[in-house]
A and B are shown apart, each in its own frame.
Chain A
Amino acid sequence: MQLKIQYYALMREQAGRSEETLDTSAATPADLYCELVARYGFTLSREQLKVAVNSEFSEWSRPLAAGDAVVFIPPVAGG
């Protein structure tokens, strides 16, 4: 299935892109993150991140569906 993934901040730099559409068999955001760590070598561990699906915070175990938009959220630093 195809997912849309957006990258921000440190992860955008490490992935070398701000978004992509990916063909994947990842069933959950947790699976997807494992796949992407292997691909891009992200240095942040999953425990340091939050994840959003379709622009809302999500559980890591939520089942993903074709067309979902996934964003991994590194530790924030607004203000």
Chain B
Amino acid sequence: MRFRFTQTAIDTTRARGELLDLGAGGYVSFEGWVRDHNEGQEVTRLEYEAFQELAVKEGERIVAEALRRFPVKHALCIHRVGTLALRDMAVWVGVSSAHRGEAFDACRFIIDEVKHRVPIWKKEHYRSGDSGWVNCERCAAAPDHAHDHGRDHDEAAVLTIHK
């Protein structure tokens, strides 16, 4: 499987080992970490959930597309689900190839497509006690942004649910 989920910490040493290849001159990886702020709010933890049956299919399709588009040796993406604390790793992408250029390109392609296409959701919990589903709650208040479905959510909006 070239895309999978884990409920426990991502084992990057083991994941990297799956990319080893005598023809590879190196590998590129990306790690997505839980940071302590978003949209001016102090984040204390995140919850990830996924529609795993479809997410694994779509994730596999993305990695297969990367392997077709870029002349790389191997690629793998692992996404965590469940409750994550600050500094925890939410996602890992690794690509090995003969030369570095295509490995960077393929790695970037995979993480960008995963963020846009794979049915995974993220709930942020804030220091204030509020919480919000990223990309869902301000969209609900401003449907004009509907065409942005999942795009560039790092900059996207979260409206908090006030308890």
- Report the count of interface residues on B (CB-CB < 8 A): 38
Question: Which chain A residue lies CB-closest to B123?
Answer: A9
Min CB gap A61→B, angstroms: 18
- Of the four ranges (under 10, 10 to 19, 20 to 34, 35 or more), the interface on chain A belongs to 20 to 34
- The dominant DSSP class at the B interface is mixed
> Judging by beta carbons under 8 Å apart, are B136 and A10 in contact?
yes
Q: How far is the CA of A76 from the CA of B116 in the complex (A)?
A: 7
Q: Which residues of B contact A48 (CB under 8 A)?
A: 139-140, 143, 146, 149
Q: Which residues of B contact A45 (CB under 8 A)?
A: 140, 143, 146
Interface residues of A in 2-48 (CB under 8 A from B): 6, 8-10, 43-45, 47-48
Q: Which residues of B contact A52 (CB under 8 A)?
A: 51, 54, 119
Q: Which residues of A contact B91 (CB under 8 A)?
A: 78-79
> Judging by beta carbons under 8 Å apart, are B57 and A76 in contact?
no
Interface residues of B in 86-129 (CB under 8 A from A): 90-91, 111, 114-123
> Judging by beta carbons under 8 Å apart, are A56 and B54 in contact?
yes
Min CB gap A51→B, angstroms: 11
Q: How far is the CA of A50 from the CA of B117 in the complex (A)?
A: 10
Q: Which residues of A contact B143 (CB under 8 A)?
A: 45, 47-48
Q: Which residues of A contact B139 (CB under 8 A)?
A: 44, 48, 75
> Judging by beta carbons under 8 Å apart, are B121 and A55 in contact?
no
Q: Which residues of A contact B50 (CB under 8 A)?
A: 8, 78
Question: Which chain B residue lies CB-closest to A76?
Answer: B150
Query: Is B37 engaged at the interface, CB distance under 8 Å to the other chain?
Result: no
Question: Which chain A residue lies CB-closest to B115?
Answer: A79
A-B interface, 3 closest residue pairs, ranked by CB to CB distance from nearest: A78-B120, A9-B121, A43-B140
Known: A56-B54, A56-B57. 13 other contacts (CB 8 A): A9-B136, A44-B140, A45-B146, A47-B146, A71-B51, A71-B119, A75-B139, A76-B115, A77-B120, A77-B136, A78-B50, A78-B120, A79-B79
Interface residues of A (CB under 8 A from B): 6, 8-10, 43-45, 47-48, 50, 52, 55-57, 71, 73-79
A-B contact pairs, 6 of them (CB 8 A): A10-B140, A43-B140, A43-B141, A45-B146, A75-B136, A76-B150
